[in-house]
């Protein structure tokens, strides 16, 4: 997005697993966060770790130990207007 510049960094190991790393820097220099590092597994693109670096010296690290993917079908994201007859539907796509 235009809010961040990003670049791919060298791969790093975390808990014995080789991860790809993307470095994000905000384009707005007034942001409190000056850098975000995203670590992900290239085989399934699952996020393993995110680090936030703040200008005041704080460093926030979030590590995901286990991700459980839920299964869903296309009907989960399909809105059936016939089930909501009393609802007013405003189509904003145009």
Closest by CA to 6, choosing from 19, 20, 22, 27, is: 22
pLDDT, residue 46, reads 92
- CB distance 11 to 3 below 8 Å: no
Other beta carbons within 10 angstroms of residue 31's beta carbon come to: 13
Q: What is the pLDDT along the chain (94 residues), one digit of tens a residue?
A: 589 999 999 899 998 999 999 999 999 989 999 999 999 999 999 999 999 999 999 999 999 988 888 787 777 778 888 888 898 888 888 6
- To the nearest whole percent, how much of the chain has pLDDT over 70? 98
pLDDT, residue 24, reads 96
Burial of 39 (0-12, 13-18, 19+ CB in 10 A): buried
- CB distance 51 to 67 below 8 Å: no
pLDDT, residue 75, reads 76
pTM score of the predicted model: 0.70
């Amino acid at each position: 997005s235009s809010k961040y510049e990003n670049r791919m960094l060298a791969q790093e190991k975390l808990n014995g697993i080789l991860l790809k790393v993307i470095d994000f820097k905000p384009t707005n220099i007034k942001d409190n966060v000056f850098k975000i590092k995203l670590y992900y597994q290239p085989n399934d693109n699952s996020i393993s770790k995110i680090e936030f670096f703040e200008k005041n010296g704080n460093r926030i690290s979030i590590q995901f130990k286990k991700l459980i993917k839920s299964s869903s079908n296309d009907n989960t994201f399909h809105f059936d207007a016939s089930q909501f007859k009393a609802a007013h539907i405003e189509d904003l796509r145009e």
